Chain A
């Protein structure tokens, strides 16, 4: 089965959550569509590779020379070093790790290379017009891999913290009058201070009430709540709308309707089976 859509309908943040939680592997192709508002806007392709929900590489080309290009740009790989290396595809090991084993790269340099791949990914979160497709059968791109990995959800949170254009996510961030409830006693991931404060106040009150308490813009709280929801740390809950802002709490669920007798259900199942 395929996994494809457009960013207008399914954001990259939601997709990364899906990849992380579904422990997906494969190559995600992102194609940006030209924008009428931007002069000389063109279609661009980007590729992100995942293994079991973690990002292992990213590049804007498919010829396997993205990482080597970054190395040569930085002057970290000369022709002599290149000649010493076995083709990574034949070793089944990431190129970055091979270079480290050969003494060509240090751990710090590998970190920087992986960070530069992640910056490319982060920039994709700003895209509004684009389509994507995840090919779960794609082979691992040993030539593009540093050997370092990061969970797709962590990358999404990182990208959302740096996001400038939240218009991209206008349809999915929680509304100001939406109540939020914490889902855990202790977050299992490192939160930024602002997110931590929103999470601590997520006791069924509305986001605008939290913003009032924190004396912060509501939109900033909405954005933090979206990240917390993506991370599975809060959920949206209904509010009693007649109550004033600041005192809103979650409603109590209505009990199940009057019970239907077991014989009714059994006979209905029997009837449906006979007619199916």
Chain B
């Protein structure tokens, strides 16, 4: 069995679970729990505490596995476990929640310090009137050098064609040599 493992990460409420549900051919194995922390409860009623798992079999013996990390930093050990096995990853950023940019920056730093694998940044909620622009979000995430910055695209996690397009972009990145 040949398996491509992609991790979908990002802060709480970025759309990770939705993204995986949209692309997965199986019912997503999720570990959502009712939120008890006050700040997270303001954003969503349930949040991922272990990880989400989705799958897409596209040929006999060939499969795409997608893992969604929990957004909260106290589950850092799960981020580590998942990213160590990943071939590529996507960081979802909620473009209209600048209060999440710091935690997203920490996730980005954490992941990039663990592995050097293809990365795509997907901006969700870009249709909100107060959404930040991709270039502003890039700087807020510490990605100031345009020449070395990973691709940043808008993603609608609920829209099948948008999610598939993001995944295609990521896989195409894997087909080009990485510059370090």
Binding site for B on A (CB under 8 A): 1-6, 8-10, 14, 17-18, 21-22, 171-172, 232, 236-238, 251, 253-257, 260-262, 264-269, 271-273, 275-276
Contacts and interface: CB of A to CB of B under 8 A. Distances in A.
A5 B113 CA distance: 29
Contacts of B172: 269
A171 B117 CA distance: 28
Nearest to B167: A272
A5 B64 CA distance: 38
Contacts of A256: 87, 115-117, 178
A10 B87 contact: no
A166 B48 CA distance: 33
Nearest to B2: A264
B148 to A, nearest CB: 12
Interface string B53-90: 00000110010100000000000000000001111000
Contacts of A236: 109
Interface residues of B, number: 42
A157 to B, nearest CB: 16
Question: Secondary structure of the A side of the interface?
Answer: mixed
Given A269-B172, A272-B171, A276-B161, A254 B115 contact: yes
B113 A251 contact: yes
Given A236-B109, A276-B160, A276-B168, A253 B59 contact: no
A239 to B, nearest CB: 10
Q: Which 6 A-B pairs have the closest CB atoms?
A: A9-B99, A276-B164, A5-B98, A271-B58, A1-B133, A238-B113
Nearest to B63: A268
Contacts, number: 104
B4 interface: yes
Contacts of B4: 260, 264-265, 268
Given A253-B116, A267-B62, A1 B98 contact: no
B101 interface: yes
A3 B136 CA distance: 8
A18 B168 contact: no
Nearest to A270: B58
B27 interface: no
A22 B144 CA distance: 9
B114 interface: yes
B135 interface: yes
A82 to B, nearest CB: 40
A266 B58 CA distance: 12
Given A254-B84, A269-B168, 20 more contacts: A1-B136, A2-B130, A2-B132, A5-B99, A9-B102, A18-B139, A22-B135, A237-B113, A238-B113, A253-B115, A256-B87, A265-B175, A267-B62, A271-B59, A272-B167, A272-B168, A272-B171, A276-B160, A276-B161, A276-B164
A262 B161 CA distance: 23
Nearest to B144: A21
- Tell which of A1, A3, A255 has the most Cβ of chain B within 10 Å: A1
A251 B86 CA distance: 19
Contacts of B117: 256-257
Given A18-B140, A254-B114, A260-B4, A276 B135 contact: no
Contacts of A271: 58-59
Interface string B113-127: 111110000000000
Contacts of B139: 17-18, 21-22
A257 B115 CA distance: 9
Nearest to A178: B109
B174 A265 contact: yes
A260 B174 contact: yes
A249 to B, nearest CB: 13
Interface string B162-176: 001101100110110
